[in-house]
Structure formats: structure tokens, C-alpha cells
Amino acid sequence: MAEVVAGIVNDVLGRLSAAAMEEISLLWGFKDDILALEVDLSRLKAFLQDAEEKHSKVRSVALWVGSLRHLSLKIENLLDDVLTEAMLKKLRKELGYKSKVKAFFSYDHNKVVFRTRIGHRIKTIRSKLAEISAKTSELNLNAGVDVMLSSVDVRAESSEIRAASSRLDTPIIIERTEEMDKIVGTLCNDVDKFDKVDDEVPVYAIYGMGGLGKTTIARLVYDHKKVNKRFEIKCWIHVSQTFNVEEILHTVIESVDPSKSCRSFHLDAMQNCVENLLEGKRFLIVMDDVWIERSERKNWTTLSKSLSVGAQGSIVVITTRSMETSVMMAKVPELQLQLGAFSEEKSWLLFKTLAFPQNIVPDELEPIGKMIVEKCDGLPLALESLGSLMSSKSRLSTWERVLHSNMWELDTNEILPALMLSYDYLLPHVQRCFAYCCMFPKGSMFKKDSLIVFWMANSLIDLYEDGEDVFNCLLWRFFIYKSRVVGEYIMHDLVHDLAHYLMRHDCAIIENGKDIRIPDGVIHLSSISPEFMLSLDFKQSKYLRSMLIFNNGSNGNIKRIFDHVYLRVLFCFSTDLKAFPDSVSKLKHLKCLNLSGSTIEVLPESMMYLQNLLYLILQFCHKLRKLPQGLSYMRKLQHLDISNCFSLDHLPLGIKELIFLRRLSHFPVGKDSGAQLEELGDLNRLEGELALCKLENCKGNQVKSAKLRLKRNLQVLTLVWSNRYMFGQEFVEHSNDEMVVEGLEPNPSLKELTVRFYMGKIMRGSWVVKLTNLVKIKFDFCYYLEQIPPLGKLPNLKEIELHVLQDLKGFHDDDNSMSREDGMFPSLQVLYIDGTKLESLPGYFPKLRVMEIKRCHCLGSLPANIQSMRDLEFLHIESCENLAKRYEKDIGEDWHKISHIGRIIVKPPRASSLDDSQGGRRETMAEKGSSSKAAGGEDDEGSSMMEGGLSSLAVQRNANVKICEIEEIEENRH
């Protein structure tokens, strides 16, 4: 705890001495008081190093540390109150006379009353600091030297973090091939042999102690190609320590049919819904990390009844640490697999691969390394964690210090020693960021952006780039893992236990079905229980700073939040929250508000008083119709995410005033009201991704005022019009769309460009050829586009996607070279074409690895030099009559030109027309199409072929696998 308090004290001291406080203290007359607070706190800080060594053994010292923590937080609250009141004073001045009169008669904002109240609080805090200062002598605490990392140490550690980041994409897998093949074989071939016991669905149990890789094996099985073909329905559920039937049923429903909202269903209704969805279908349900005692057997019986309606061959796979759970649920011995520890040889191989990436093991380190491996007891999680740690340590003394660390003596029932050791070698600011990860529920997936924003809102880091470095460090050190879903991450349960252990005095985690208890002094709260806000403990927790609420269905209870006036972070995920009351303005310290997935329709105007708000995240708020008109007064706002807000058709006027805005996910252009593109003109701090939507509402001669060319930090740009073709507006004025595109020239630093529902015949903008850093370009549903811009000379372009361009007959004339010597498309790796009238393709793509061509009925041949394209690993042809005939296996006239390709799929045309493809949705190579919606209701692919498929292709190439599938023509079914 003392090391956490040291971080808090350092932050508060930094703020006390900041130049900004000089101005505020002079304004309110608090200069002398603030200087005195700084002196008092600095004196006490000197005792923290000694307290850190003693607090775990001496309870009175632990209480002293807790008191110092509490007072430090009170000082920070006081400073924030003063700063916030100064900002509100400026706002009231902008709003005018009525607002100033209202403030004068307000107890909270009257200048004289406020100064008196702050002065009294400072006096009280100083008195308390004097009391704990007096206790240092009776506790025998010694003032020591403040031990801080030198700038050299920090630079060295930071360079290690960046070096680790460069190795993140290198997969390190020591396979359990035998176990995986056994499970896959049973699920796909043998499960029909086992009759239902007590009319319950069959269960396959993978059991063993934590850290053995049970979840990893389950994931590999779940994603196995044979398993994908075998089961009609698949569902993954993280159960953890509370076996909640309603939550499990809810997850099944949302997985099988995401359109169904069942949070308000009673148990009986959920059971009926699941039975209707699963009846007669062969399904696989994986329940990860199951804990269920014999006394809870009725819960499993209740759930199993709903799952017994599936077709023959349906099965549930569980992972569990409990042998009792395994025997109780998987009643057939053949359906139980106990996972053992890695052998000594396999353990050393995993550790060595991570610790010595160059595969060179120094003679003096090998024996020590093997002794460290022996202490890991064959646990893959421990080996991964320490292996990645030791990869950055080259000194013999460091290796010996790890080997002989007293961390190995920790009680393994609480915390895995190897994890604590690895944590101990993190930089202090990385340690604090890691500990905060416990706020996300066990087994839940999270995005990198969400976590980094959470860190920034809690003042753990200052810059997003610093957050990326920290995140990559945690990823490399196996504190965080990539999940099965592209762009999502997860923590191992044992790692989550460590994070919660470190935050046990600061953080309370409320689980569903567990007793609700919020200890005194807690400042961070995370809950998946709908009832927690009704508890007395919650009402009395006045100093909460972070609150993360997951899936709370009660709109009325949400209002209790606004009594917690010191909140800095509020996440309300997937809550049944239709409106915020005006009292949201009481949360004046709020820095981050995340309402993703809620049913909110309107945000109140009183939100403009949230002058500290930096991050407003409203993803998937499908019913949100309006943002506050006073949004322009929230001048500190840096991040506004309104992606997938289908009902939001404009932004309020005054967006141009948000000069610190760095991330703006979408800008829907208003038709009759709201902000126009010219308001983007001076927002040159924008970075990351930006989608400009409803561009049909723009006038072509006005868009240049958006000044996209000056936004050098934008990486991804999406230009989206409404789908006028779908709504019968087939004969639009092409020239306006063409003029709009011409005026939206981005900065040459752009990496990705998407154009969707564009109705022009040509791309008049000559700026595409200037995008020398472009990596990916995508045209979607550009129905009238007859020719795409010249792309062949773009040096870094790796991926082209053309989707439903039904008037497109050819690439640009400049790209139609047949010669290999012209150097066209020098970096292109992925070419995806679907639904065009292309008659020919450029002759040569020297680096192409993936080519997918679908529903191109006029295309007569593949690139002329395809036989020389030796990097090509995957070719997919579908619904292309001419190509299917020409490249038919063995008998096609040009089969010999493609026979060298590692994987070929040729699907002859079905009885479908080009028009049928207009609403089509493509499959990725990994057969896991993932799509989401952009603001305004336009499709936006959530995962690219590069992310979804190339890694699996590399595996196939290395295994020298050649697959050719020529599918028979199927009868059209209507």
C-alpha cells in the first residue's frame, strides 16, 4: 500500500507547486495556505520509504500510511474544487448577467462563502497533517532519502518498453498438440457415442490448476477449422466464481441473436428464448473458468434443461480449476481431461524462446535460467511472465537477484510468485497503470483505447502516446493478452487477482450474486451487480473517484450516482439509461464519461458545467438523438466518440470552439441545422480516425474550409454519404459529390482512406496520388464510379478493397501496365474485389499475398503475369463465370498459371445477379466477418483481412499445405 500512497503524494505535491496554482491561489487569496500545505506534505513524504518496509508487519504503521493517503486525496479534492470554481466563474461570465446573479445567491458559488469554506477546509487538513506528523516518532519512523529513478533509468526502461513493442507481433506458442487433437477429435467425431445422462447436454471438462493454459487450449479448439464446420452455433461465456444462470442465458441469447435485448426478461422467458434459438441445432458452448459446488448443483440443472434441446452432437465445454466441478458436470470419464504442467524440457523451451529472442543463450545465464524455470513448476503463465521479463535483463547479478528473491516464498493460494516478481520489475507508473486494470470484470474483453483513456482520466499518464507504451509493455510482459476478437484484449484471472490484490485498499469489485460490501476508504468501484446502488455502503462512500457499472438495468437507481461529487471517471456500460437528470452538473470533477451501449436519447444542457470533462464516449448509443447545445463551452474536451450512434444526424453548432479536441470519431454534417464542415477548420490537433458522414448535405464549394490538409496527425479518414441509391434516389447530381471529394484533400501522412456511398462517376480530386504514406484504400457501394484514381505508384499501399462498384469497368489507365518493369503496386499485399464490371486487371502485383475476386461477371482473366507472382499465398474466386472456367483445376486453360499458389478456393457462380450483391456482406479469409455500423447507419468493417487472415496463412505456408477447393454448383434455394 505504501508504494501506492507514495505515488499519490508525489502527484499532489506536483500540483501544489505547479505554476497554475500560483494564479489560482492569488485569485482567491490562498497563496500562503497552499505553500504551507506543500511544506507539511513534503515533510511527511520523507517517512514513506521506512513506512513501506514496516507497514505490512506493523498494523499501526499501516493505519498511519492510510491516514496520509486519505489526507493527500483530500488536498487533491480541495485543489480541484478551487480550479473548477475558477473555470465555472469564467463560464458564468460568458453566459451573461442571469448566470452571475444565480451564482451570487447560490451557496456553492457565492465568492465570499466559497472562500470561507475553502479556508476552513485548509485549516482542518493542516491540523490533521500535524497530528500524523506527531505520530512518526512514537511509530519509530525514520525520514529517509526520497528514492526516485534517475532520468537514465527511466530512459533505459522506456527504451525497453519500445523494444518490447516491436516484438509484439511475434507469436510465441509452445503447443499442446496432443491435448488439442484429442479434444477436437472427441467433439467432432466421438461425442455422438455418449448418451445424455439424466437428460442433460453432454459436457467436456478441461480441468487443472490456474496458469496451466486451460483457456488457451479451449480457445484453440473453439477456433479450430473442423470445429467451425461441425457446429451451427458457437458461443463463448466467461463464468468465473459466480455461476449465474440468468447471466449465462443472457450471453447465449446475445451471441446467437445480437438483435434480441433480454436484460428485462425473467428467468422463464430467458429459458424459453434460449430453447427456441437452440432447438434442433448442433451447438458448442464454451464456459470458461467455471466454479460450482455440489450445493449449487440445482443451478447447473436449471441451465442444462434449456440446453438439452439441441441436435445430437451438441456439447458444452468447460474449463475449471476444480476436479469436483469437472466430475459433477462432465459425468462421463472419457469427457474429462486433466491438464498437467509442462515438462522440464518444454518449460525451458518456452522460457528460453522468450528470454533470448535471438536464440543465443549466454553460458553464465543458462544454469540460473534453468533454476528459475524449475521454480515456475511447469506453469505456462509463470514461464511467459518471467521469460518476457528476463529478455530485458542481461546482467548476471539481476538474474541471481530474481532467482533468490523472497517473492518465491509467497503463498501461492493468493498470488502467483512469478507474477509478483514480474510486476516488481515494472516502472512505478507502469505498476500503477497495471493495478487499475482490475476495474474491468474478470474475463471481460476491453479495447486498448478504453484502458488508456481510463489511465489518463485518473492522471496516471499525461499523453496518449505514453499510454500506448505502457499498454505494449503490459502486453509483452503477458499481463494483458490479445483476445479471440480482433482489437479486444483480456487478462488472465490470476493476473486479475494480482491487480486486485495491489488495489485492495483503493478498489472494491462488486460481483453479481455476492454480498455487497464497500470497505471504508475505497475510491474506485466496479460493479456487475444491479443491486449495489441500493446498498447503504454505496450511499456512504462519499469520496469515490471512479465508478464502472456494467449491465445495470435500473434507470432509477442510476440517479444515485450524482451524489458522488468527487467522481473523475464514470463508465456506464450497456445500462438501461434513457436520460441523465440535470443534476449531472454536480459531478463537476468528472474527467471521463462513458455511456457506451446505453439507451440514452438526449443529454441535458447542464452538462456544459462539467468543465473538467476530457473524454465523452457514447459508442453504440443507438437512440441518442441530440448532444447538448452547450457542448462548445466544454473547452477542455479532448475526445468525443459518437461511433454507432445511428439516430444522431448532426453535431451542435460551436464545435470549432473545442480547440483541444484530439479525437473525434464521426462528424455527421447537419442538413437544416447543426455544425457544418467549416467548423473543423482550426481543429488541427485531431488525430487517429475521423469519419465525415452525411456528406450529401455539403456544398462542394464550401468543404475546403474544413482544412483537412492541415490535420497531419489523422491516420484514418472515412468519407461517407447516405445510401441514396437504396432509397430510390438513383438519379442524383453526380457533380456535387465530385466537387465535395475534390475539396476534402487530407494530409499526405494519411494511412487509410475509405469512400462509401459516393455517387460521382469519377474521383475529381487529384490528391489521392499525393498520399505517399497510404497503406489501405477502400471503396464501398460507389454505384456510379466508372474509374478509380491511379493507385499503382503509391509506394506504401498494401491493401485495396473494391466493394460493389457496379459501373467500374477498369483500373485507372495509368495503372493498366502489363510490364513487370514499370514498378507498379510495389507494396500491395491484399486485393479484394466484389461486385464490379471489371473487364481486366493490371498485369503484375510483385508483393501480392492475397487475392479475392467475387461477382465480377465480366472479368475474363487474372493478371497476365500471375504465374510470376511467387508471394501469392491465397486466391479466392467466387461467382465469376469466366474465371471459374478458365482456372478450373487441371482442365482449365490457365490452371497451370495458378497451381503454384498455396491455397486456392474457386466457387463457381450461383444463380445470383450483381444486384443481389449490393447489400452483400463479405467473409474474411478466417471466415469470421466482423462488421459494425458507423454513425449515420453505414456499414464499417470492424476487422481487416490483414488482421483476420494473414497470420493463419503464414502457418499454412510454413506447413507446406496446399489446398484446392472446387465447389460444386449448388441449386438456388428460394
Supply the DSSP string of 796-807, one letter for each residue.
T--EEEEEEETT
Is the pLDDT confidence value at 156 over 50? no
The pLDDT of residue 536 is: 57
In the structure, what pLDDT confidence band is assigned to residue 155 with cuts at 50, 70 and 90?
very low
Mean pLDDT throughout 379-405?
Answer: 91
**What whole-number distance in Å separates Cα of residue 560 and Cα of residue 672?**
38
Mean pLDDT throughout 784-802?
Answer: 94
Which segments of 96-148 does DSSP mark as H helices, in order?
97-104, 111-138
Which letter, b or e, does each residue of 659-694 get, where b requires 16 or more Cβ atoms within 10 Å of its Cβ?
Answer: eebbbbbbbbbbeeebbbbebbeebbebbebbbbbb
Q: Which stretch of 69-83, 407-421, 464-478, 820-834 has the lowest confidence by average pLDDT? A: 407-421
Q: Cell 441449386 identifies what position?
A: 971
**What whole-number distance in Å separates Cα of residue 573 and Cα of residue 927?**
29
Point out which residues pair with 824 in neighbouring strands: none
Mean pLDDT throughout 286-307?
Answer: 86
Q: Which residue has the higher pLDDT, 118 or 145?
A: 118
**What whole-number distance in Å separates Cα of residue 506 and Cα of residue 500?**
9
Q: Which residue has the higher pLDDT, 252 or 832?
A: 832
Summarised one tens digit per residue, pLDDT across range 957-968 is 233 333 333 333
Mean pLDDT throughout 589-607?
Answer: 92
**What whole-number distance in Å separates Cα of residue 205 and Cα of residue 194?**
14
Region for 584 from its dihedrals, namely left if φ exceeds 0, alpha if ψ lies in -120 to 50, beta otherwise: alpha
DSSP code, position 144: -
The cell numbers describing 428, all together, are 512505478
For 265, list phi and psi in degrees, rounded to 5: -70, 145
The pLDDT of residue 932 is: 35
Summarised one tens digit per residue, pLDDT across range 208-262 is 988 888 998 999 899 888 998 899 899 999 887 778 888 888 888 888 887 676 6
The pLDDT of residue 191 is: 74
Mean pLDDT throughout 280-298?
Answer: 87
Mean pLDDT throughout 495-517?
Answer: 84
Mean pLDDT throughout 473-486?
Answer: 87
Q: In what order do the strands lie in the sheet with 752-756?
A: 666-668, 688-693, 714-720, 752-756, 776-780, 799-805, 830-836, 850-854, 874-878, 903-907, 963-966
Summarised one tens digit per residue, pLDDT across range 16-39 is 877 456 656 656 677 788 888 888
Query: Pick from 519, 559, 564, 518: which is nearest to 545 by CA?
Result: 564
Is the pLDDT confidence value at 297 over 90? no
Mean pLDDT throughout 112-124?
Answer: 87
Is the pLDDT confidence value at 951 over 60? no
The pLDDT of residue 808 is: 94
Mean pLDDT throughout 730-744?
Answer: 80
For 355, list phi and psi in degrees, rounded to 5: -70, -30
Q: Which residue has the higher pLDDT, 904 or 558?
A: 904
The one-letter code for the residue type at 428 is P
Name, in order, each residue with C-beta under 8 angstroms of 724's C-beta and a sequence gap of 6 or more: 696, 730, 732, 757, 759
Is the pLDDT confidence value at 910 over 80? no
Kindly list the distances between the CA atom of residue 772 and the CA atoms of 591, 744, 792, 812, in Å, as whole numbers in the listed order.
Answer: 38, 17, 11, 17
The pLDDT of residue 152 is: 36
- The percentage of the chain sitting over the pLDDT mark of 70, rounded to a whole number, equals 81
Element housing 850 (H / E): strand 850-854
Which letter, b or e, does each residue of 254-292 get, where b requires 16 or more Cβ atoms within 10 Å of its Cβ?
Answer: bebeeeeebbebeeeebbebbeebbeeebbbbbbbbbeb
DSSP code, position 362: -
In the structure, what pLDDT confidence band is assigned to residue 521 with cuts at 50, 70 and 90?
confident
The pLDDT of residue 535 is: 66
- The percentage of the chain sitting over the pLDDT mark of 90, rounded to a whole number, equals 42
Is the pLDDT confidence value at 971 over 80? no
Is the pLDDT confidence value at 804 over 90? yes
Look up the pTM and report it: 0.82
The pLDDT of residue 855 is: 95
Distance, first Cα to last Cα, the chain: 67
Max CA separation in the chain (angstroms): 94
Q: Which residue has the higher pLDDT, 729 or 917?
A: 729
Q: Which stretch of 159-173, 378-392, 576-590, 651-665 has the lowest confidence by average pLDDT? A: 159-173
Which segments of 263-362 does DSSP mark as H helices, in order?
267-278, 297-307, 323-329, 344-355
Kindly list the distances between the CA atom of residue 249 and the CA atoms of 270, 484, 513, 573, in Å, as whole numbers in the listed order.
Answer: 6, 21, 15, 19
Question: How would you class 29 by CB atoms within 10 Å of its CB: exposed for 0-12, middle for 13-18, buried for 19 or more?
Answer: exposed
**What whole-number distance in Å separates Cα of residue 254 and Cα of residue 235?**
9
The cell numbers describing 573, all together, are 456500460
**What whole-number distance in Å separates Cα of residue 412 and Cα of residue 839?**
66
Q: Which residue has the higher pLDDT, 633 or 20?
A: 633
The one-letter code for the residue type at 281 is K
How much is the CA Rg of the chain, to the nearest whole Å? 30
Written as one string, the DSSP assignment of 646-681 is TT---PPTTGGG-TT--EE-EEEPPSSSS--GGGGT
The pLDDT of residue 141 is: 87
From the centroid of its chain, how far is CA 826?
A: 33
Mean pLDDT throughout 449-465?
Answer: 89
Point out which residues pair with 667 in neighbouring strands: 692
Mean pLDDT throughout 455-479?
Answer: 90
Mean pLDDT throughout 698-718?
Answer: 91
Is the pLDDT confidence value at 682 over 70? yes
**What whole-number distance in Å separates Cα of residue 85 and Cα of residue 103?**
11
Would you say how long the chain is, in residues?
A: 974
The pLDDT of residue 1 is: 56
The pLDDT of residue 961 is: 31
